[in-house]
Structure 1
Amino acid sequence: MRKLLAVLSVLFYNVHVSALDLGIPIACDYGEDCIIFNYYDKSVEADVYTDHTCGRLSYDNHKSTDFMLRSHTQMKDGVNVVAADSGTIAFIRDGMSDISVDLIGEEAVRGSECGNGVIIDHKRGYKTEYCHLMNGSITKKVGDYVEKGEIIGQVGLSGITSFPYLEFTVSLNGQPVDPFTGDNPITGEINVPCDSLDIYPLWDKQTEKRLEYIATSLLTMGFSEKVPHSQGAREGKFSRKIIKYDSKIMVFWVDIFGIVAGDQLKLSIINPRGDVIKTETRPFTKNRRHNFQFIGYKHKDTKWVLGKYIGKVELLRKEGNEMEHVINTTTFVELVKN
């Protein structure tokens, strides 16, 4: 009897493995150009959420995996969305504008929260859904067969979103499934606890290895001669490589993902002589998923020093009894004559 069960388990496992073999659904350098900022919520309790690692990168009842671009500039340059596995196009929506929901309000996209999107029908009841695609970028039509890795559209800003990202959802017979844990091939159970060792990831081996868990990341940073705001900075409107000598202020800004309560953020501006002309350290008492911060140096009576100014960002986190760097990097801007 035990031998029979063992054989059946192997057979079920082999069927499961061949049913879906997902690649990354976005053509980006993961960890560099894009990151996952929301995972599938594993908790079945209301108002409680956790991702597959028992971490906090999710929100209540979220049943997708969200791949976020680091900036709007990437979206404008074009980032392809590809079929995670081969299948047939079952649904398409296109024609929705790429505009932040912060500007138009949620009511404007009610009933079309996914924005421009595609659904692909795969084998054995599996489907994958791709949301928030760029208006006019969808390259396929309903009924088309697509191969794994084939371009189906581009990342956009349609639907209920305020920044460019791909919302990727996997379902089995109409029920959402976490691609990082999969469904049990014997019992069919899809509600796998976050601490379970009995998992069957739906990613192919290369993708599973590639999608490392990133809890904290510097999304982007830059200099400006004006006081920036987060939306404009993320759209590339406050990123200068050169600042003119007659500018009144110099601002260094950062956009960070995954700040944890207890973290300390230190921002500094260093002049061409190596002098720190402005520095601030800001403690955080709450977790911050997506946080925009800046410091500025105002030109008064003293003259600017021409040359390269360095912006330095340090995010420190308590590990044991010590504060250790989670982020420690720099960028620069050139101050030149008019």
Structure 2
Amino acid sequence: MNTLPSVALAAGLALLGVVASARAAGEGPPSLAFPLACKIGVSCEVQNYVDRDPGPGASDYRCSSETYDKHNGVDIRVLDMAAQRRGVAVLAAAPGRVARLHDGRPDISIRDPAAPPLNGQDCGNGVVIDHGGGWETQYCHMARGSLSVTVGQTVAAGTPLGHVGLSGNTEYPHMHITVRHAGVVVDPFAPNAGAANACHAEAPLWSPAALAQLTYKPGAVLNVGFAAQPATMADVEAGQVAAPDGAAPVLVAYARAINLKSGDVIAMQLSAPGGAVLGRSQLAPLDHSKAQWLAYIVARRPTAGWAVGRYTARYQVLREGTAVLSRDFTTMIGG
């Protein structure tokens, strides 16, 4: 959740040829580097894209649903609050000058009853960089006290601006980046409004290296692990799930995935050292799309206790009968 005070997105995408016009005027758009010190698929994932649907619906540049109504940027989330506390740098996506910044908002989920009113500061702590020619990028939800640039400072692509946080209108630690030209929101994956129904990236603003990181995925596995009792979403988000030991009464394997679709089926299997299957589960098809979803499988300790060795879990998301997501993970007990 990260609505930013800006020109309405639908109006912005309705302006045909915004990038082509800028190039004709000699004011070409910046080439955007990847804006976080993380690696997609390892330490971060894309949660949301720009909403290209001008109406009340929501559609990303691939004509899919990894966005929400009027979302005007790209959300890249880190895996959990433990990663956020270690510090993940937000990086300038292109050379420019720091035009504006804001700091001082607390790092707290908007769902927390103690969260203060937003008072229009949905972006939370953030930075705006002017790239010239009417182009700017805005970086939101940064950690309070982490901003490392000043207004008027010249930055290069890759210059650290601060750290990923949990400030403003958000429920999870991530960085939201919005691209604008002349105050109009631009989708960096398909910047020309004429590409609204192309259902693929078209003349993207991202550099080739950034685009290689940002390959579109049919969802993603965010966290996996083992616990001595069923983990909650809050436990996983906090990064505070205790690992099991030989005294654990149950062995729980859990996995959290993002951007699942209506009808997806989650299947899990838990195996003992040597391959004996301790349990299998297959959930009912999801009744609607899920921004994030936590699943787990539980095995009770045998009468003789847990065998010493490596336990293996497999997590899969089946979409129309095909596994679109799969992750194997292990833990060691004893030894």
Mapped pair 1:111 → 2:113: no
203, 216, 221: which one aligns with 1:218: 221
- Does the residue aligned with 2:64 lie in a helix, a strand or coil? coil
113, 135, 140: which one aligns with 2:144: 135
User: Structure 2 matches for 1:139-178, cutoff 5 A?
Assistant: 139-178=148-187
Distance 1:215 1:37 in 2: 11
Gaps of 5+ in 2: 1-18
Distance 2:310 2:208 in 1: 45
What amino acid is the match of 2:218? A
- Describe the superposition over 1:42-67 as per-residue Cα deviations: whole angstroms up to 9, x where unpaired: 11112x11111111111111111111
> Aligned pair in 2 of structure 1 residues 96, 287: CA closer, same or farther (>3 Å)?
same
Q: Work out which of the two has the higher radius of gyration on C-alpha atoms and give 1 or 2.
A: 1
- Describe the superposition over 1:141-198 as per-residue Cα deviations: whole angstroms up to 9, x where unpaired: 1111111111111111111212111100011111111111224xxxxxx575232789
- Does the residue aligned with 1:101 lie in a helix, a strand or coil? coil
2:8 aligned residue: none
- Describe the superposition over 1:20-48 as per-residue Cα deviations: whole angstroms up to 9, x where unpaired: 211111121123322221111111112x1
What amino acid is the match of 2:289? N
284, 299, 305: which one aligns with 1:297: 299
- Describe the superposition over 1:179-228 as per-residue Cα deviations: whole angstroms up to 9, x where unpaired: 11224xxxxxx575232789442222332343211121111100011221
Q: Give the ranges of 4+ consecutive aligned residues of structure 1 lying more than 4 Å apart after TM superposition.
A: 9-17, 196-199
What amino acid is the match of 2:228? E
* Residue pair 1:35, 1:214 contacting (<8 A) in 2 also: no
Mapped pair 1:94 → 2:96: no
Deviation at 1:286, TM superposition (A): 2.1
- Does the residue aligned with 2:65 lie in a helix, a strand or coil? coil
How high is the TM-score relative to the length of structure 1? 0.86
Mapped pair 1:276 → 2:255: no
Gaps of 5+ in 1: 1-8, 184-189
2:59 aligned residue: 50
- Does the residue aligned with 2:211 lie in a helix, a strand or coil? helix
Structure of greater relative contact order (alpha carbons < 8 Å, 6+ residues apart): 2
> Aligned pair in 2 of structure 1 residues 295, 79: CA closer, same or farther (>3 Å)?
same
Deviation at 1:135, TM superposition (A): 1.4
Does 52-61 or 328-337 show the bigger shift? 328-337
* Residue pair 2:126, 2:142 contacting (<8 A) in 1 also: yes
Distance 1:231 1:59 in 2: 23
1:5 aligned residue: none
Distance 1:198 1:232 in 2: 36
User: Structure 2 matches for 1:14-25, cutoff 5 A?
Assistant: 18-25=28-35
How high is the TM-score relative to the length of structure 2? 0.86
* Residue pair 1:50, 1:59 contacting (<8 A) in 2 also: yes
* Residue pair 1:132, 1:158 contacting (<8 A) in 2 also: yes
1:232 aligned residue: 235
1:244 aligned residue: 245
* Residue pair 2:28, 2:133 contacting (<8 A) in 1 also: no
How many residues were matched structurally? Answer: 316
2:288 aligned residue: 286
